[in-house]
A and B are shown apart, each in its own frame.
Chain A
């Protein structure tokens, strides 16, 4: 809240001067509008939209998450009541929540592992001196620009028990599982669909990083008799470690926002196996109309994202070879 105030005053100040701004003149001995003052004004004006936006649509709602989590709102009856810590008691006692958090963790870890390793493999392949890598790069990147829900719907169609994937498997004589209805396969399906959709982004970032690794290092290592794997492990990985860290942060935080895929593919099922935190939040708030409890879950989600980011930035010191 204090921060909101700070920013609002800044915004006020930024808005006020133009009224007198018309009087600026360079004629006198000590003009009011010195370069520094003018710069200050322009600076505040330039950041004003972003700051006002942050105050209104980031900080204020964040404060409200806390406020609403102390209330219960009944949509049908139109009542809004203060309930104190009731929603937090519910959070601690919620038997589903453990399952939800375990599912969320599994999803995030699976996603990061699959995504980063596939991205790295693709980037290394595309970094070889081969003709036509640009063509393959285009193909691998193309799902990134396909509308998310369209992509998910196609996969939902492909993953039906009698859908395309099992059709292809059937041609090969394999009796495919019922992907979206099995406890294990549902989570796997959601992860793979999401990895294929977005791995192109990480691939491109890795590719750029790989191209920044000086070729002499490899040559020197080769003279020392280092094999391909050793070179990869000792030279490539350390040198692109800042990119690995960055992509892992983006991917982990992104994994906590995966909603549409779950809503379309599994609706959180079977059982609760693919009900990740954001989907559970949506269910509680917008399907069951426990808005207060939804806000409480939002607070939890925020704490998790904040903790993860802090941990990852801390890790940077430990294992990132050097900062670019």
Chain B
């Protein structure tokens, strides 16, 4: 805070940080390197931090054993649609609940908030049966529509509302004087200001959709419809034994791109999440 820290204290703190980060970093390292090891090296003792012989064949097998490219596209497009859709739904609802007065507003907000109380897992059985009745199992509809409109988007609406509540009213007054209607005020004035909150919502939503596991395994049943998390668990030989190096190669391809994006944009990621609504 004020005085310079002693060198000893600094060393201790750095030492602590370095030790603590091992379990966070080592798994990713191990995933990438093991995916490049030939199968007989994978459980070798003592463990080696780098492959003795570099073997890229697992990466080829990933695409041979599963329609992995299709599955990648599935995950990506579902997550993108869900993210954009949630941003739209949550921004509108959050704005209306925060800045517009209309009869029944509070009661309706409470109804929406109920979604925070009900994890989507609670309703998985009836949702499955609804989807089944509509003949939409083994399609991507339930993975897109339910998250955008159902329980998962409630948190986003909540974040957006908290943000818009804190917005100074004068800005909107000015917009009105300039002759903008409600839509105009929302779209031209409020929304651009909400970029940090929208960013946080986008990150949350994307990761949520990207990680979804229970829903896809319940709804989807054919490999070309699978999403990545589900596909990752399918790299087993015909009788259920795991094919570690192939599985790890697929995991690497799933994890690394997002990780790279994160490292490049980590400031927006971390600070966006910290400074919006959830601050407490």
A residues near B (Cβ < 8 Å) are 3, 6-7, 10, 38-40, 42-47, 49-54, 56-62, 64-65, 67-68, 73, 121-122, 125, 128-130, 134, 136-151, 153-155, 157-158, 160, 162-164, 167-168, 170-171, 192, 196, 200-201, 204-205, 207-209, 212, 215, 218-219, 242-243, 245-247, 253, 256-257, 259-260, 263-264, 278, 281-282, 285-286, 291, 294-295, 298, 301-302, 305-306, 309, 324
8 Å CB contact of A58 from B5, B24, B123, B157 = B123
A71 → chain B, closest Cβ, in Å?
Answer: 10
Residue B255 lies at the interface, judged by CB distance under 8 Å to chain A: yes
Closest to A300 in B: B122
Can you list 14 residue pairs at the A/B interface with Cβ under 8 Å?
A40-B103, A50-B90, A54-B154, A134-B267, A139-B25, A147-B211, A149-B251, A150-B229, A153-B232, A157-B244, A208-B274, A259-B121, A259-B213, A282-B214
Q: How far is the CA of A282 from the CA of B213 in the complex (A)?
A: 12
Q: Are A146 and B255 in contact (CB under 8 A)?
A: yes
Residues of B contacting A7 in the complex (Cβ-Cβ under 8 angstroms)? 108, 111
B68 → chain A, closest Cβ, in Å?
Answer: 13
Q: Are B45 and A309 in contact (CB under 8 A)?
A: no
Enumerate B16-41 residues with CB–CB distance to A below 8 Å: 16-17, 20-21, 23-28, 30-31, 34
Enumerate B108-128 residues with CB–CB distance to A below 8 Å: 108, 111-112, 114-115, 117-119, 121-128
Known: A205-B279, A256-B119, A282-B124; 11 extra A-B contacts, CB below 8 A, are A39-B182, A54-B154, A57-B123, A136-B21, A139-B24, A142-B28, A146-B259, A154-B248, A157-B248, A212-B279, A218-B1
**Knowing A138-B266, A204-B274 touch, does A168 contact B2 (C-beta < 8 A)?**
no
8 Å CB contact of B130 from A61, A122, A171, A264 = A61
Residue B93 lies at the interface, judged by CB distance under 8 Å to chain A: yes
Q: Are B279 and A309 in contact (CB under 8 A)?
A: no
B residues near A (Cβ < 8 Å) are 1-2, 5, 10, 13-14, 16-17, 20-21, 23-28, 30-31, 34, 43, 45-47, 88-90, 92-93, 95-97, 100-105, 107-108, 111-112, 114-115, 117-119, 121-130, 145-146, 148-151, 153-154, 157, 181-183, 186, 207, 210-211, 213-214, 217-218, 228-230, 232-233, 244, 247-248, 250-252, 254-255, 258-259, 261-263, 266-267, 269-270, 273-275, 278-280
Closest to A65 in B: B126
Residues of A contacting B115 in the complex (Cβ-Cβ under 8 angstroms)? 54, 58
Q: Are A43 and B122 in contact (CB under 8 A)?
A: no
Q: Are B111 and A3 in contact (CB under 8 A)?
A: yes
Q: Are A205 and B25 in contact (CB under 8 A)?
A: no
Q: How far is the CA of A22 from the CA of B163 in the complex (A)?
A: 33
Q: Are B125 and A46 in contact (CB under 8 A)?
A: no
Closest to A261 in B: B213
A87 → chain B, closest Cβ, in Å?
Answer: 12
Residues of A contacting B217 in the complex (Cβ-Cβ under 8 angstroms)? 263
Q: How far is the CA of A145 from the CA of B122 in the complex (A)?
A: 25
Q: Are A263 and B118 in contact (CB under 8 A)?
A: no
A127 → chain B, closest Cβ, in Å?
Answer: 10
Residues of A contacting B258 in the complex (Cβ-Cβ under 8 angstroms)? 145-147
Residues of B contacting A282 in the complex (Cβ-Cβ under 8 angstroms)? 124, 214
Q: How far is the CA of A49 from the CA of B186 in the complex (A)?
A: 17
Q: Are B127 and A153 in contact (CB under 8 A)?
A: no
**Knowing A151-B27, A282-B214 touch, does A157 contact B278 (C-beta < 8 A)?**
no
A311 → chain B, closest Cβ, in Å?
Answer: 13
A57 → chain B, closest Cβ, in Å?
Answer: 3
8 Å CB contact of B214 from A10, A147, A209, A259 = A259
Q: Are B102 and A43 in contact (CB under 8 A)?
A: yes
Residues of A contacting B154 in the complex (Cβ-Cβ under 8 angstroms)? 50, 54, 58
Q: Are B150 and A58 in contact (CB under 8 A)?
A: yes
A163 → chain B, closest Cβ, in Å?
Answer: 7
Residues of A contacting B250 in the complex (Cβ-Cβ under 8 angstroms)? 150
Q: How far is the CA of A150 from the CA of B213 in the complex (A)?
A: 11
B202 → chain A, closest Cβ, in Å?
Answer: 13
**Knowing A53-B148, A149-B211 touch, does A305 contact B117 (C-beta < 8 A)?**
yes
Residues of B contacting A201 in the complex (Cβ-Cβ under 8 angstroms)? 273
Residue from the set A7, A40, A57, A125 with the largest chain B CB neighbour count within 10 Å: A57
Q: How far is the CA of A259 from the CA of B233 in the complex (A)?
A: 14
Closest to B185 in A: A42
A317 → chain B, closest Cβ, in Å?
Answer: 15
Q: Are A149 and B89 in contact (CB under 8 A)?
A: no
B232 → chain A, closest Cβ, in Å?
Answer: 5
8 Å CB contact of B150 from A57, A125, A192 = A57
Q: Are B122 and A301 in contact (CB under 8 A)?
A: yes
**Knowing A278-B121, A301-B122 touch, does A145 contact B213 (C-beta < 8 A)?**
no
8 Å CB contact of A130 from B14, B43, B254, B273 = B14
Q: Are A150 and B125 in contact (CB under 8 A)?
A: no
Q: How far is the CA of A126 from the CA of B123 in the complex (A)?
A: 39
**Which A-B residue pairs are the 7 nearest by beta carbons?**
A53-B149, A57-B150, A64-B126, A43-B102, A46-B96, A61-B123, A167-B47
**Knowing A138-B266, A259-B213 touch, does A42 contact B149 (C-beta < 8 A)?**
no
8 Å CB contact of A245 from B1, B279, B280 = B280
**Knowing A52-B149, A122-B20, A150-B232 touch, does A298 contact B123 (C-beta < 8 A)?**
yes
**Knowing A46-B96, A205-B274, A305-B122 touch, does A142 contact B129 (C-beta < 8 A)?**
no
**Knowing A167-B47, A257-B119, A298-B124 touch, does A145 contact B104 (C-beta < 8 A)?**
no
**Knowing A153-B251, A219-B2, A295-B125 touch, does A47 contact B270 (C-beta < 8 A)?**
no
